[in-house]
Amino acid sequence: MNRIFSALALVVLSASLAVAAPLDTFKGQKGTLDIAGGTAHIPVMKKAAEAIMSANPDIRITVAGGGSGVGVQKVGEGLVQIGNTGRALKESEVTKYGLETFPFAIDGVAVAVNPSNKVTALTKAQVKDIFAGRITNWKELGGKDASISLYVREDGSGTRETFEERALDKGTSVQSANVVNSNGAMKTAIAQDPNAIGYVGIGHLDSSICGVTVDGMVPSQENAANGTYTITRLLYMNTKGKPQGLTALFIDYIYSADGKGFIASSGYIPLDKK
């Protein structure tokens, strides 16, 4: 019995050490790490930051949004150590700022409507017509007789770029559309407007908004991962030059077992470090 108990204790201890191991790299570290950019990244970054700062109070990590364009600008100008983007870096950005890029998760972008809307399935052609302003009333889509309230993301948004490239086949949205500046703001707008349609990262879908099937593709992270949902993107961390010190440790932590757990619990699919 004592042997069994000892073996069980060893297993529990080993498991505890395995869980703690990723945070061990921050022991003895001090300093500040500032992160900004894509809003889809915020839940993952905040969970990682909180875990690190709880383990080591001598480390301070700030996490802000602003969109992918802001992430590129701020990291390029040295205002933050990590600039997040929901799109691949442009060659001009890499050349201008000398950026290194680290894809860490797969995310899908879902068309979303208010839960009270009976229109929950669209064709890709219909989506393109809606966002181009050619379809303006829900009755044209089998819904109620009401004007469509169209919501899009701001210029520089990685979510917007992915949506326009993959869902609109590189088309653009009508200029009269309402513009919101984050996935959170998009969720709030759609949840409060019964006639709304917009788009969010799949990880942001919940009971407050309804994900729409497009050409029969159901928006879920599982479908994004297995390729049956094709309106997808990668999420990236970007640094100015090769990451050093605390920045390098943070990036490695995102790829650790802890980080992958934060990614999955935020609704995304983790990637291994290349």
SS3 letters across 81-101? CEEEECCCCCHHHHHHHCEEE
Whether 9 has a pLDDT exceeding 80, the answer reads no
Multiple choice CATH, 107-232, 3.30.43.10, 3.40.630.10, 3.40.190.10, 3.30.460.10: 3.40.190.10
Measure the CA–CA gap between 260 and 271, rounded to whole angstroms: 8
Given this model, what pLDDT does residue 93 score? 97
Which CATH superfamily groups domain 22-105+235-270?
A: Periplasmic binding protein-like II (3.40.190.10)
Buried b (16+ CB within 10 A) or exposed e, 228-243: ebebbbbbbbbbbeeb
Longest dimension (CA), the chain: 75
Collect all residues with Cβ–Cβ distance below 8 Å to 133 and sequence separation of at least 6: 150, 174, 176, 177
- State pLDDT tens for residues 99-122: 999 999 998 999 999 999 999 999
Task: Give me the mean pLDDT over the 193-197 stretch.
Answer: 98
Residue with tokens 């210029």: 155
- State pLDDT tens for residues 133-171: 999 999 999 999 999 999 999 998 889 999 999 999 999
What is the pLDDT confidence band of residue 270, given thresholds at 50, 70 and 90? very high
Q: Are 162 and 171 contacting, i.e. CB atoms less than 8 angstroms apart?
A: no
Whether 3 has a pLDDT exceeding 90, the answer reads no
Given this model, what pLDDT does residue 229 score? 96
Domain ranges of the chain: 22-105+235-270, 107-232
Rounded to two decimals, the pTM is 0.76
